[in-house]
Amino acid sequence: MGMTVAEKILARASGLAFAQPGDVVEPKVDLAMSHENAALVINQFNEIYQGTELTPRIWDASKVAVIFDHRVPAESPKTATNQKKVREFVAAHALAKFHDIRGDVGGICHQVLPEYGYVRPGMVVVGTDSHTTSHGALGAFAFGIGATEMASVWALGVAVNVEVPATIKINVRGRFSRCVGPKDLILYLIGQLTAQGANFKVLEFQGETIEQMFTSGRLVLCNMSVEAGATAGIVPADEETARYLSEEAGVTDSLDLVQPDPDAGYEREVEINVSALSPQIACPHTVDNVKPVEQVVGRPVHQIVIGSCTNGRLDDLAMAARIVKGRKIASGTRLLVFPASGKVYRQALAKGYVGALMQAGAVVMNSGCGPCLGVHEGALGDGEIALSTTNRNFKGRMGNPNSEIYLCSPAVAAASALTGRITDPRDESL
């Protein structure tokens, strides 16, 4: 029997000719990423060397990335002090892939890694963030780990005791209708699988729809794969992967476009035809509580967020700007926009998207994760309802357990901002 993409990558990284589900391997890591929680990793890393005469040393400074994005700029003395600690560590260990709080090279980690070409097909990528699964969109095996595990990676360069996961193949066909896209597809899939339906599995996305999808959309799919419990999401690398890395990330190296074997073994296969798919909404308080937008239209919303590592890319902002251009955000409704990176922000400025959004009444913020996890900017009041293009909606996710969060696409978010209620973006009266 042949191997899936994940099995091929893990086998090769572990020095093996073959790997199958259930095998326990120790793959060499190609890229290790942390954000502000690098401060926790530093503590664990230094503990490894306590009581020894060894000098703490990163196994390969060129393979460690640190990106400030969760609390930027720092919202408290504690955060600022932790960021200072990380800066000092970065300088001491000469970590080149460091993205501080800057408008030119800053942004959300899961946007920065792809757009700088740090992630390539066939890589093993680990990150101290659950949405590290995003990077499977570029044909890498990418998964989240804890601070203690990351400290071990920093010291050894390998991920210890990794069990090779089984793979679920997601075959997607058909063409999206107007105002329907990748976010609706992944919400629908999570609703079908449930939040635990892919626990410790890999979701491998294939089919004609995926082949025609830009990398920005593939990032959405892999980003939210973890919301079905998956260890990783992955799109087999292809011509689109090569195009993105060459044209948008400036990569000139040759690429290994890892593909699954024709006789690869899958735990099961899921078939989806997107041609009849409508915009989807994840209702409070779980991501798998998914309904077609038609079933929840009219629900009033107080705050709408467009952005995050899920939907803060240029095409997301373009969609939102097209819908609100020349219109006004409904009275009593706040629209916050968070571009995924400084690069995206600058591109959106140049194309007029930022201007259109602001003229409609949106507040366009700096790139960051703050409102998504409720630690910085955009907190909700008691009893308020949020509609967001982010990736989680459990109680308290956006900072207040006494509020409600609905998840949606940028199209639904922008249309709803105009009415102050959850709105179908296909509504001809808009």
User: In 3D, which of 110, 298, 306 has the Cα closest to residue 221?
Assistant: 110
User: In 3D, which of 300, 308, 315 has the Cα closest to residue 417?
Assistant: 300
Report pLDDT digits (tens) over 106-151. Answer: 999 999 999 999 999 999 999 999 999 999 999 999 999 999 999 9
Report pLDDT digits (tens) over 328-338. Answer: 999 999 999 99
Question: Which secondary structure element, helix H or strand E, spans residue 273, and what is its range?
Answer: strand 268-273
Taking CA atoms, 428 is separated from 178, 422, 423, in Å, by: 11, 15, 11
The CATH number of 5-272 is: 3.30.499.10
- What does the alpha-carbon distance between residue 379 and residue 385 come to, in Å, rounded to a whole number? 11
Q: Give the model's pLDDT for residue 251.
A: 95
**How would CATH label the architecture of 280-419?**
2-Layer Sandwich (3.30)
Between 51 and 87, whose confidence is greater?
87
Q: Give the model's pLDDT for residue 271.
A: 97
Domain borders along the chain are 5-272, 280-419
- What does the alpha-carbon distance between residue 411 and residue 392 come to, in Å, rounded to a whole number? 18
Q: Give the model's pLDDT for residue 1.
A: 84
Q: Which two tokens stand for residue 255?
A: 């690429």
Q: Which two tokens stand for residue 120?
A: 């390539």
Contact residues for 61 (Cβ-Cβ < 8 A; gap 6+): 93, 94, 95, 96
Q: Do domains 5-272 and 280-419 have the same CATH topology?
A: yes
Average pLDDT taken over every residue of the chain: 96
Q: Judging by DSSP bridges, how do beta strands 64-67 and 97-99 pair with one another?
A: parallel
User: In 3D, which of 178, 159, 176 has the Cα closest to residue 59?
Assistant: 159
For the segment 81-107, the average pLDDT, to the nearest whole number, is: 96
Q: Is the dihedral of CA 80, 84, 87, 89 positive or negative?
A: negative
- What does the alpha-carbon distance between residue 4 and residue 127 come to, in Å, rounded to a whole number? 22
In the sheet where 167-173 sits, what is the strand order?
232-234, 202-206, 167-173, 268-273
- What does the alpha-carbon distance between residue 40 and residue 148 come to, in Å, rounded to a whole number? 8
Q: Give the model's pLDDT for residue 53.
A: 84
For the segment 223-241, the average pLDDT, to the nearest whole number, is: 98
Q: Which two tokens stand for residue 342?
A: 């400084």
Q: Is-contact 139 219, C-beta < 8 A?
A: no
